Amino acid sequence: MPQPVSSLILSSHHPIISLICRSSNNNDRPRQPVRLHSRPRLRPGPPHLHPAYPPPTTGPIPILVADTPVPNTPLAQRINAYAKAHLPAPTYNHSLRIYHFGLAIKRHRFPFPDWDFSDGTYFLSCALHDIGTTEENIQNTRLSFEWVGGYLALDLLQEKQSDGDAAPRAQAESVAEVIIRHQDLCTPYRWQDYCDNTGAYADLVHPETIKDASEHFPRLKWSNCFTDMIHRENGLKPWAHTTALGEEEFPAKVLANTLMR
């Protein structure tokens, strides 16, 4: 298992700082959106309520797993195999469901230029977003699971095992930041996760999309599995970031998910 990086030194020249917007010379021109290895810019409040993203005039259409396949690249295939080998089956299936839900939400609700991010980078973020929740990783550090997951991903993605299966640093750092921040409220990379965990935002995903993803990647009592993990980490680390969502309130929302069980 890759060792977590010991530190991240952030400066104005560090790629993490420029994940949302970047320019060749910030003094000369407006910053432009980065589409290859980043996410939409963060705005106050939930993105679907922001005036920059007017709602569609029609409801979502069915978008099936076959319509949003796992990228057929050496890197994506290596990370997919790693996630499948290291995550419990319910967690792995959850990670793949949110990949498909997220792309469905993107296509229906956010057909905007600054949402034109890389599906490949997005897949890596989904596949590894809960890698910090394994029993080994929870016990081996005092970091909250999102942080240890991000640091593990940063190293893992840049490892080269064969031609073309290592991520460039910019891509690895983009994925790491998304993993670290994926439980922050009102961020674009939290939606699909919250949908699968609590049933929220169901109006953004067609029921057939949910049904098809759940048939390909069964829930396997995911709600119980996830709440057990939350209680496990909070018991070991009372300072864990998940406590910001409510030590009992958030697990209760997960268990109350009537859309998907």
Q: Which tokens go with 158?
A: 């840049």
- pLDDT tens per residue across span 6-16: 333 233 233 33
pLDDT of residue 202: 77
For residue 22, pLDDT over 60 is answered with no
Confidence grade of residue 49 (pLDDT, cut at 50, 70, 90): low
Residue 198, CA distances (Å) to 68, 125, 170, 223, 233 in order: 23, 20, 32, 8, 19
What's the CA gap between 179 and 78, in Å, rounded? 18
- pLDDT tens per residue across span 207-249: 999 999 999 999 999 888 888 988 899 999 999 988 887 777 7
Average pLDDT over residues 56-77: 95
Q: Please tell me the least confidently modeled range out of 28-32, 63-67, 71-75.
A: 28-32
Per DSSP, 240 falls in state -
Average pLDDT over residues 69-94: 97
pLDDT of residue 189: 52
pLDDT of residue 193: 60
- CATH code for the part of the protein at 65-255: 1.10.3210
- pLDDT tens per residue across span 192-201: 565 666 566 6
Confidence grade of residue 48 (pLDDT, cut at 50, 70, 90): low
Give the amino acid at 160: K
For residue 118, pLDDT over 80 is answered with yes
C-alpha 192: how far from chain center? 8
Q: What is the DSSP string of 173-225?
A: HHHHHHHHHTTSTT-GGGHHHHHHHH-TTGGGS-HHHHHHHHHHS--SSHHHH
- pLDDT tens per residue across span 36-46: 665 555 555 55
What percent of the chain clears pLDDT 90, i.e. is strictly above it? 48
Contact indicator for 126, 96 with CB cutoff of 8 Å: yes
- pLDDT tens per residue across span 135-182: 999 999 999 999 999 999 999 999 999 999 999 999 999 999 999 988
What percent of the chain clears pLDDT 70, i.e. is strictly above it? 72
Confidence grade of residue 17 (pLDDT, cut at 50, 70, 90): very low
Beta-sheet strands, E only, within 72-128: none
pLDDT of residue 185: 61
Q: Which of 261, 57, 234, 53 is nearest to 250 (CA)?
A: 234
